[in-house]
Amino acid sequence: MSAVPSVDARVRLVQHTEHPDEVIATAARVCYAGDTERLFERRPGEARELVARLCAMGHHSPLEHASFTFYLEGVSRALTHQLVRHRVASYSQRSQRYISHDRFDYVVPPRLEGRTVRAGEDEVDAVEYFEETMALIAERYAALNDALGRSGERSNEDARYVLPNACETKIVVTMNARELLHFFGERLCQRAQWEIRRVADQMLERVRAVAPAAFQLAGPKCVQQGRCPEGERSCGREAEMRARYLEPHSGEDGQ
């Protein structure tokens, strides 16, 4: 069987609203300002203070004016299935209909490392077993695509039914700052799966570099809400999470 390579997530912030903290602050000032003369003057320091105050008060609607577009690759279809459940966002994902997957990359769950699988009489390494399964799927996909006439979109769309959740994919996602805060709350939580947590961590790192005030209080929901709402299912690591996500951050155009 041919070897097919495993991959790791890569997150690129490809585009964002220019000066996001300032745009959010301008939107907020419209709500309160009697005098509109100075609304559009650039005042980065003041803007950050105002946005930090808005976030602390939970006045989140002005955050909707700043938007962020990411390119994710090296992620699994399992991850993107979780990601696209977030509805206040836009997505464009690599197609399994237009693109043949005779050879596909895949994501290996790290917890398989060091484990074994019982296969008949033998104990085999779990990662090797996983990789052999991927290679077998790739072979079967190709055979089924041949059987379907290898006609591009028409045969790809049916052959893909054997592709695994581990299959690597690429996706562009755009979210505004308010939805990102909600996304981070859910997906940085220790109850979320390791892969989407890793991606969410990378996304937060990227947006904090360009909008430090908007994302100053970002983190899992225990950090954002000041307490864990998960009850019995709480990981009990609120203090660790606060230390990890609320340490001071500086922006690329920081004051």
Which is closer to ligand FAD, CB of 86 or CB of 237? 86
Tell me the closest approach of the beta carbon of residue 220 to ligand FAD, in angstroms.
Answer: 10
- What does the DSSP 8-state code read for residue 2? -
For residue 75, report the phi and psi dihedrals to the nearest 5 degrees: -115, 160
Q: Which residue lies nearer to ligand FAD by CB, 92 or 250?
A: 92
Compute the least distance from the CB of residue 175 to ligand FAD, in Å. 8
**Strands of the sheet with 168-176, listed across from one edge:** 10-16, 67-76, 168-176, 89-93
CB of 159 to ligand FAD, least distance (A): 27
Tokens of 75: 């992620």
DSSP 63-120: GGG-EEEEEEEEEEHHHHHHHTT--SEEEEE--TTTS--SS--B---GGGTT-EEEET
Please say whether the beta carbons of 162 and 101 come within 8 A.
no
Choose, from 160, 187, 198, 206, the residue flagged as catalytic: 187
Write down the least CB distance from residue 249 to ligand FAD, Å: 24
Nearer to ligand FAD, 1 or 88 (CB): 88
Q: Which is nearer to ligand FAD, 64 or 125 (CB)?
A: 64
Could you give the CA distance from residue 99 to residue 153 in angstroms, rounded to a whole number? 7
Q: In this structure, what token pair is assigned to residue 168? A: 């690597």
160: which residues sit within 8 A by CB, 6+ positions away? 96, 97, 101, 141
Residues 227, 213: Cα–Cα separation, whole Å: 21
Q: In sequence order, what are the residues at sequence separation of 6 or more whose Cβ sits closer than 8 angstroms to the Cβ of residue 102? A: 138, 141, 142, 145
| Nearest residue (CB) to ligand FAD, 88 versus 124 | 88
Residues that bind ligand FAD (CB under 6 A): 85-88, 179, 182, 186-187, 191-192
Both structure tokens of 171: 């996706």
Minimal distance in Å, beta carbon 91 to ligand FAD?
12
- 187 among known catalytic residues: yes
Residues annotated as part of the active site: 187
